[in-house]
Amino acid sequence: MSLERVEMLQRIGSRIRAERNRLGLTLEALAAKVGVSKMTLQRIETGATSPSIVTLTDISFHLKQPIESLIREGEPNVVLLKKDSQDTLFDPESGIRVLAPRGLVSERVTITCARLDLDTVIETHVNRGFEWAYLVQGKAVVTVGSKEYPVEKGDAIFYDAHYPHSIHVLETVQYVGLFLHDE
C-alpha cells in the first residue's frame, strides 16, 4: 500500500475516532451500531484497514456527520472578520456593517447588519439585485415602489431592490440583511 493511501486511511480513521469520542461513544457501542466487530472498527480508526463504502456510510450516519466530513482533504477555509475590519455601507455613520462582503459566500451575496436609531431614514434608492432583512429588534416602515410595509421584531422582508425603496425607523432597529446582486 502506498504511503499516500496509508496517510489517507489514517486521516479518515482519526476523524472517525474524534467524532466518536466527541459523541461519548465507546468503540464497542459504535461497532455494535454499525454492525462490525470492535476489532474491525479499531483497525478502521487506526488506518490499518479500509472500510467499504457501506461501512463508511453507516459510520457517518451513526456519528451524525456527512460522509464528506470524514473523507475531505485539507483544512477548512475559515474567514474571521473582526468588527474593526468590517466595511460599512453608505457612510460610516450609517452603522450598516458588511458581515460577509461580496465574494466571500458568493460573488452575488453580501450579508449586512445594523442598528438604526429612532427616526433614522434611509432615503429612496435602487440597487441591482434583491434584498432580504430580518428584524432582531424594533419597528420600521419599508417602502418599496409606492407601497409601505410595516415590519417589527421577528419579521423578515424580501423585495426586488431594482424598485425604489426606503426605510423609516419607528423604534430602534437591529437587523441582519442579505443582498443578492444581479449576475
Q: What is residue 91's predicted lDDT score, i.e. its pLDDT?
A: 66
Q: In the predicted model, what is the mean pLDDT of residues 129-153?
A: 96
Cβ-contact 104, 79 below 8 angstroms: yes
Q: How confident is the model at residue 90 (pLDDT cuts 50, 70, 90)?
A: low
Mean pLDDT along residues 138-161: 96
- CATH architecture of the domain 3-71 equals Orthogonal Bundle (1.10)
Q: Where are the domains of the chain?
A: 3-71, 83-181
- Tens digits of residue pLDDT in 43-84: 999 999 999 999 999 999 999 999 988 888 777 777 777 777
Architecture of domain 83-181: Sandwich (2.60)
Q: For the full predicted model, state whether its pTM sits above 0.75.
A: no
User: pLDDT tens-digit profile of 3-26?
Assistant: 888 999 999 999 999 999 999 999
